[in-house]
A and B are shown apart, each in its own frame.
Chain A
Amino acid sequence: MATTSTQPATIRGITSCVPARCFDNLKETLAFDKDEVEKVVRLAGVKTRHLAADSECSSDLCLAAARNVLGALAWPPESIDGLIMVTQSPDYFLPSTACLLHRDLKLADTCAAFDVGLGCSGYAYGLWLAAMMLQSPGFRRVLLLHGETPARFASQSDRAVALLFGDAGSATAIEAGNGDNGNRWWFNLHTDGSGYDHLIIEGGGFRDRFPEDPHKHSVRMKGRGIFNFTITRVPPLIEDTLAAAGISKEQVDYFIFHQSNLFIMRHLAKKCGLPEDRIPLTIGEFGSTGGPSVPLTIANGGLKRPAGRSLQLLLLAYGVGLSWGSALVDLPSSAILNHVQLPAAEAAVQREPHAVNAVGGTTV
């Protein structure tokens, strides 16, 4: 069953976070000639990107976002029943990044915390999981974190990806309950594993742990395949979700697209007959940040929010896997939307040192 709905939950707040370093594609790119850079910038729409330093991980971005949203909501750590960390750029193979964040946020040991290894589609899946958890007795508050540092695994000599990716994290605070209007949340979730190699980092995992070819440690993207996938899969994703929910395009306040590429998003908007003023864009400022681009765009996309009425958002998340999904959710008028920037070196300062023994550690 790819299409489903859940009891309504309530988004209380979303905070996004980017690293301090802002890279200007037109002014600072040296690897390609100027005309080529201008052409790519014009097409993909990425003017600037925020890049994580070598010491900054997706967890650092999510930690800063989580601290902000929890502080703004005055939610004490012990009130969080579940923490979901969606990422494909974890700190370690093990333990789960969610466990590190659980420690850093000083959450209670009654909190369920786990990682979800999805990329561009991750926010739709994460919201679905959060909504499912909140239907379970005992869960009242869930923190959904979604962070990626794709710029750290993109080769700067690969023209297909070098100018595209930025890094970002996000934290979404979700609570059981009906929000402003009690609409059910609708989801449409899909996978096509035959396209697993359309976006892939071939080395470093257990299939090829120490490849000699250094390029295998960087992401490789088959642009044609991704574009074909996107224009084939996203239009029915929109239609099917709206049909299942029994609403029309006109009833959706905003279509929040994964900010993959300006050219692709514009093509999709045209193909699906969606008005551009209801498709917020943040790719120009932040680049393609993977799945976190969806909450980043909710927080930074200049959404007009009428007082006393929830916005109905159709979130569209698609890419690596190949995996794609939608979420039709309400954003209450009272929900907090914040954006923070990670101060340089915050990761080193704020994090407690990880106690890792090189040898002879305790067996788990």
Chain B
Amino acid sequence: MTTQEATTWIARLFQESVERLTPETPRDAVPAWDSLGELTLMADMDEKFGIVLTDNQLRAMTRVDDILQVLRNNGQITD
């Protein structure tokens, strides 16, 4: 998966337009990235990539690139 594809996945997850979301987009600018959105993120990460996010990882996520970084660290992003 490329960074662009991963960003598209995140945009769909949080019901955002792909054009509006970049790696630099802060969490505050994504309304659906609330505590319920976190659960959706955790479930999708587990289901699609087999990654179980920890409390610390979730707490440290402040922008879209933090999600991308977890995917990179787990070998899911190739570019």
Contacts and interface: CB of A to CB of B under 8 A. Distances in A.
B36 A39 contact: yes
Interface residues of A, number: 18
A40 B55 CA distance: 21
Contact of A271 (B46, B54, B55, B58): B46
A209 interface: no
Contact of A267 (B35, B38, B46, B54): B46
A232 B42 contact: no
B1 interface: no
Nearest to B42: A227
Interface in A128-171: 159-160
A267 B47 contact: yes
A224 B42 contact: yes
Contacts of B40: 263
A221 to B, nearest CB: 11
B18 interface: no
B52 interface: yes
Contact of B46 (A40, A224, A231): A231
Contacts of B55: 222, 224-225, 228
A43 interface: yes
Interface in B44-79: 46-47, 52-55, 58-59
Given A39-B36, A160-B35, A267-B43, A224 B58 contact: yes
A224 B59 CA distance: 9
Contacts of A231: 42-43, 46, 52
B39 interface: yes
B42 A263 contact: no
Contacts of B58: 224
A224 B54 CA distance: 8
A225 to B, nearest CB: 5
A223 interface: yes
B47 A232 contact: no
Given A267-B46, A270-B47, A271-B47, A232 B52 contact: yes
Q: Which 6 A-B pairs have the closest CB atoms?
A: A267-B43, A224-B55, A225-B55, A224-B58, A43-B36, A231-B46
13 contacts: A39-B36, A43-B36, A223-B38, A224-B42, A224-B59, A225-B55, A227-B43, A231-B42, A231-B43, A231-B46, A263-B40, A271-B46, A271-B47
